[in-house]
Copies of this chain bind each other. A is one copy, B any other.
Amino acid sequence: MSQPTTRERIEEKADELFYEAGFGATSFADIADAVGISRGNFYHHFKSKDDILDAVISRRLAATRRMLDEWEVDATPKERILSFIRILITNRTKIMAFGCPVGTLTTELAKLEHVAEDRAAEIFELFREWLACQFRALGHGDDAEPLALHLLGRSQGVAVMASAFKDEAFISSEVAQIEVWLDQHSNQPQTKG
Residues of A within 8 A of B (CB): 20-22, 24-25, 97-99, 103-104, 106-108, 110-112, 121, 124, 146, 149-150, 152-158, 160-161, 163-165, 167, 170, 173-174, 177
Contacts and interface: CB of A to CB of B under 8 A. Distances in A.
B107 A160 contact: yes
A152 B146 CA distance: 20
14 contacts: A21-B111, A103-B160, A106-B163, A107-B107, A110-B163, A110-B164, A124-B164, A146-B173, A149-B165, A149-B170, A153-B160, A156-B161, A157-B157, A157-B158
B165 A158 contact: no
Contacts of A99: 107, 110-111
For the complex, would chain A's binding face be called helix, strand, loop or mixed by DSSP majority? helix
A150 to B, nearest CB: 7
Contacts of A121: 164-165
B150 A103 contact: no
A145 B15 CA distance: 36
Contacts of A158: 153, 157
A124 B124 CA distance: 26
B153 A157 contact: yes
A98 B111 contact: yes
